[in-house]
Structure 1
């Protein structure tokens, strides 16, 4: 197995050994000159690292875990890979074949457990299967951009590769040339282009919604938007497709998005969706309001949210390049101009929220300090939670910056594992994990992994001593918050960083924050800035809907604790926006 993985160019495996994969570990040891095994503290982190590695490189991510509980721990990270369409191969152990079905210790049938997450899912039953099924697993993961899984019983891990206990006909060893996988960009069919051009040229108020599927098509996206005089709205995973300071974009969409983007969706009469099947239908145009053109390389993702008049199954870059000369350049640009003005006002409001005089520290100010100090090719990873709101609105995509989070799964805790894997994949770039105290605490042992592997990741902890997003979700449902704030003492993650032999600083004074951020980013090794932020700062939606305001009020009437501090935070935000 190790040799076959090396034949495919695999150079990194993230995992945690156990007696269920000791035979595999010996194979990895014998080939450690070709494959680096990065030892983690929790299998969930290994799966997140494999996912992050695949997201940042486009290559196959691989994670390994022992049988039973080790394999079970992989699932959260593997679902993250599946739902965000990245190729990951999971390798797990299994009890000896002679004891299967006997209620043996840790006997968990992982092929049944993984049947929903893995497109290719097999328990190996004969040593001579290995080269061929490794090829098939990798081809499925790469070709379908999803998860594959191989389970390897203990006795087969140590069996002679020439052994055939069942006296079956040997399939033979595949030739090395079979490790070549062709993935050419898919061009669009002319009939589909003709229909799309017809719809787009007929539109008067055209909007574009672009997702991470268009990440390699920045120039083409901008050229098409310019021709159509179309504002560009971005999904959160697609944040890096277009620079945030470009005049054609209105920013993100949805709960973490911008007011101009939401209002744009309410007014447009034509929508061009590129590289996204955006899951939150309530933020899209009402069915029948807008004619829709959708471009996606996966035909199964077209038409999931809205009726589509023109569908193009193709690579985003190629399709947009083919479509561009068929579009009628617009001279009427009042629709675009309206939302450019709205966007400028929104950005001014966002800058006003980065108030350095507020104490406790405003989380917007924390993210703003990181944004100002980071390099133009920095990679930011983020956890789910309120940190996603602050990063969505205050991390500026410019230059070659990138941005990653758990998109469709929206899992807590991937920020640090992502950063470790991406720093390993891109040793010359600045990699920053912007995480909440809740997500960091779940897998904080992996910071020690970064130290041990000399990976200079920078971790910025937005510490509100609570599960902040859940807190606000309870309020928005009309309930007073319950069981979402931690008791004292508050965690000091900077002390943990120093205990690991790394840089760590705790910040509670807003005046000290910019210097602490700059010092951490300049540090040659791993670093943690643990920043105490205002726990009562609400992650307000771009546009407050009636139902949200209604439930917010009801939660206060029912006895919401900390309501004075919360109202004071909201009032200060609105005052700053007005003053700007």
Structure 2
């Protein structure tokens, strides 16, 4: 029997940390570890991507969809450089990923070939932990430290393993089982609750607010029940960040939708007219759509105290887990909803939903992209995952696709890097092969790396219990990448050639549908959602459809959506609501 090598030790540590798969691109300096994974009998599995960047997006996508630690592999030089995009995605969206990078500087060219200082290269993106392996006995502990740090800090870490070290034999080392965290890495390592004095101060701010708004981010996952209960108790309206979109049932009558440039008029109106704001687990960068400075009193809940007050001034900071903190707040907040305020919010939501439907059905040449997402909304599977890329598709996703409760959705929320959706979708599908997955992207993202990663889909799909992985490509032939009706002139239009996306899928043995007539969009969705294999739905859409960002915080519920006498009636309703609350306070 061959002696165990350090590469075998690495596989043992991955297994101890319950890593189901590692994503990467093979290369000479990481070859021993890849070989050891191939010999591991599928525990864990090595998933080769078509490019190191997509491998790192897959690892980050795995962390996002599963709340586990993602793992990616690469070799030195340009291979390591290519990992950076996905690792920065993990860093900015606070997800745990471990990158294992091989290095060989003993080659015939004196170490100069493909040599890059890896500590400096990863020093920013993996600033919590970058270490080199030096001797065999160090490696298990080194990996444990990398995984523990990634889990505790919700960030990427990096371990560099020289080629000679991977090949070194370790006959005297015994398998280790100590040092592995219990529970899911996405959860806090301990119960984190604010101080009682801070909870009392927050309850006072929220209870005395007359027009309360709640903005929910991805940190609100798992706290939907508490958020809705608190909103009902206060008569509050709710908006979400892009990353927080899957947290709550979007069919709630007081759910105004996504806030920000890609968001809804109703969400902007909510922020423009509230006097009290509760931020729950959000680091939303679209602060132009927050209430005007001095307009509101603000409470912010976040598990990471470093984030409190970084986007918006905060009166009462609450450092703690969202669910635990909200439960503690509910014990202190009385049930005194402002029904007039809630009624205005629901009126605004109704108006927005009607407007969104009208936008989706407006004529376009040949197909309105909003219609494509509008038609999907009524056909969404009630389980599974959605992956969204960067571009105009984010606007249509944010406004027109209501997610059923329990459907997981992810995007490159803070970094905003194009090309993430298909790698995310692959990671989501491999994690739960018995559930459908949808990837939503534009033709630019599809050409960037989606065409290549369809090969990965074609390689794996027959292993999936539910074969449905649907890739929507909004082909607007907007070769400038400008979108939203801003049309380029001259030679700019020739920069990106058109591609038969559905035809490429068929060449790979997948299903492909191309639709360029609005009356056929619904039938096209029915076809791909019922297919017996992964599908590409290529929708030829109009690049001139405007993006129409909502007005920022000046969009006040008390006047924006009404004119003339109607505006006066709305303002009178709000003033009456304020007087009622004041009278109740006196009693």
Which TM-score tier does this pair reach, normalised by the shorter chain? Answer: 0.7 to 0.9
Cross-structure match for 2:574: none
Is 1:29 aligned to 2:38, yes or no?
yes
Is 1:130 aligned to 2:139, yes or no?
yes
Question: Pick from 453, 478, 481: which aligns with 2:460?
Answer: 453
DSSP 3-state at the match of 1:177: coil
Is 1:92 aligned to 2:98, yes or no?
no
Instruction: Give distance in 1, aligned partners of 2:479 and 2:190.
Output: 44
Cross-structure match for 1:330: 336
Cross-structure match for 1:150: 159
Cross-structure match for 1:424: 430
- TM-aligned CA deviation for residue 231 of structure 1: 0.2
Contact 2:236 2:337 in 1 (8 A): no
Q: Which runs of 5+ in 1 are unaligned?
A: 164-171, 547-580
- TM-aligned CA deviation for residue 92 of structure 1: 1.0
Is 1:400 aligned to 2:406, yes or no?
yes
- Aligned pairs for 1:158-197 within 5 A: 158-161=167-170, 175-181=176-182, 183-197=189-203
Contact 2:217 2:241 in 1 (8 A): yes
Cross-structure match for 1:317: 323
Contact 1:465 1:486 in 2 (8 A): no
- Distance change in 2, residues 1:311/1:146 (3 Å): same
- Distance change in 2, residues 1:100/1:151 (3 Å): farther
Contact 1:82 1:146 in 2 (8 A): yes
Q: Could you give the per-residue CA deviations for residues 542-570 of structure 1, whole angstroms, max 9, x where no partner exists?
A: 22799xxxxxxxxxxxxxxxxxxxxxxxx
Instruction: Give distance in 2, aligned partners of 1:452 and 1:83.
Output: 31
Is 1:267 aligned to 2:273, yes or no?
yes
Is 1:56 aligned to 2:62, yes or no?
no
Contact 1:256 1:393 in 2 (8 A): yes
DSSP 3-state at the match of 1:22: helix
Q: Could you give the per-residue CA deviations for residues 474-505 of structure 1, whole angstroms, max 9, x where no partner exists?
A: x5xxx967876446852111111011111012
Cross-structure match for 1:464: 476
RMSD of the alignment, in Å? Answer: 2.2
Q: Could you give the per-residue CA deviations for residues 72-121 of structure 1, whole angstroms, max 9, x where no partner exists?
A: 1111111111111111111111114x569955210012221011111211
- TM-aligned CA deviation for residue 186 of structure 1: 1.9
- TM-aligned CA deviation for residue 430 of structure 1: 1.2
Q: Which runs of 5+ in 2 are unaligned?
A: 1-9, 184-188, 555-587
Instruction: Give distance in 2, aligned partners of 1:295 and 1:174.
Output: 42
Is 1:369 aligned to 2:375, yes or no?
yes
Question: Pick from 262, 284, 293: which aligns with 1:287?
Answer: 293
- Distance change in 2, residues 1:57/1:484 (3 Å): farther
- Distance change in 2, residues 1:230/1:468 (3 Å): farther
DSSP 3-state at the match of 2:47: strand
- Aligned pairs for 1:532-571 within 5 A: 532-543=540-551
Q: Could you give the per-residue CA deviations for residues 211-253 of structure 1, whole angstroms, max 9, x where no partner exists?
A: 0100111101100111111100100110011111101211111
Moved more, 503-512 or 353-362: 353-362
DSSP 3-state at the match of 2:378: helix
- Distance change in 2, residues 1:316/1:544 (3 Å): closer
- Distance change in 2, residues 1:33/1:544 (3 Å): closer
DSSP 3-state at the match of 1:232: strand
DSSP 3-state at the match of 1:353: helix
Instruction: Give distance in 2, aligned partners of 1:22 and 1:523.
Output: 38
Q: Could you give the per-residue CA deviations for residues 105-163 of structure 1, whole angstroms, max 9, x where no partner exists?
A: 10012221011111211121222211000000000111111101111111111012369
- Distance change in 2, residues 1:91/1:483 (3 Å): farther
Count of aligned pairs: 533
Is 1:227 aligned to 2:247, yes or no?
no
Instruction: Give distance in 2, aligned partners of 1:317 and 1:401.
Output: 19
Contact 1:132 1:173 in 2 (8 A): no
- Aligned pairs for 1:506-545 within 5 A: 506-543=514-551
- Distance change in 2, residues 1:319/1:499 (3 Å): same
Is 1:246 aligned to 2:252, yes or no?
yes
- Aligned pairs for 1:57-76 within 5 A: 57-76=66-85
Instruction: Give distance in 2, aligned partners of 1:482 and 1:384.
Output: 25
Contact 1:52 1:417 in 2 (8 A): yes
**Normalising by the residue count of structure 2, what TM-score does the alignment of the two structures yield?**
0.87
Contact 1:258 1:543 in 2 (8 A): no
DSSP 3-state at the match of 2:360: coil
- TM-aligned CA deviation for residue 374 of structure 1: 2.1
Contact 1:120 1:137 in 2 (8 A): yes
Instruction: Give distance in 2, aligned partners of 1:539 and 1:187.
Output: 41
Contact 1:466 1:485 in 2 (8 A): yes
Instruction: Give distance in 2, aligned partners of 1:504 and 1:15.
Output: 28
- Distance change in 2, residues 1:214/1:34 (3 Å): same
